[in-house]
Amino acid sequence: MAVLPILRYPDPRLHTVAREVTVFDAALQRQIDDMFETMYDAKGIGLAATQVDFHQRLVVIDVSESRDQPLVVINPRILWASPERVKGEEGCLSVPGIYDGVERAVAVKVVAQNAQGQPFEIEADGLLAVCLQHEMDHLMGKVFVEYLSSFKQGRIKTKLLKQQKHDRQDQKVA
């Protein structure tokens, strides 16, 4: 297994719409394993394949406090979303250090496939519902900051580009 580099906003590859997964083989399982290792290493609760520059409809999630309930979600579709919505603070591994309020459905019902290609449905509320919606946005090429005002988006973009420039300069010195 390997820790993969996570794309950082405003990298244009984060806006790539992911393709459907059609082959469920050892290479896909390696990708899943690498994504879990990457997510756990980064202290995240969810990771979409788009965030690691793998543009297929694949998400890994673990919202458990004990970090021992991995969930693989392939080719997900929302079958139902509650009309009740709640605004909660979200963060993202592709937008490090930035947290802001995003309005999401309180509950969702999702149909997807597991790592072997078998279909399943999941009904989720709370943190899992938010995580599913957030990661599925990534598969559609959308980053959570795009729900914010254009003013906030501009500030976030400037801050992250400045941080990336600083990080590159630090790497040159080291």
134 in a labelled binding site: yes
| Upstream peptide bond of 10 is cis (omega within 30 degrees of 0) | yes
92 in a labelled binding site: yes
- Residue positions annotated with a catalytic role: 135
Residues 57 and 45: their CA atoms lie apart, in Å, by 17
DSSP 71-82: EEEEEEEEEEE-
Phi-psi category of residue 15: left, alpha or beta, with phi > 0 → left and psi -120 to 50 → alpha:
alpha
Give the residue ranges of the annotated binding site for Fe cation. Answer: 92, 134, 138
Give the residue ranges of the annotated binding site. Answer: 92, 134, 138
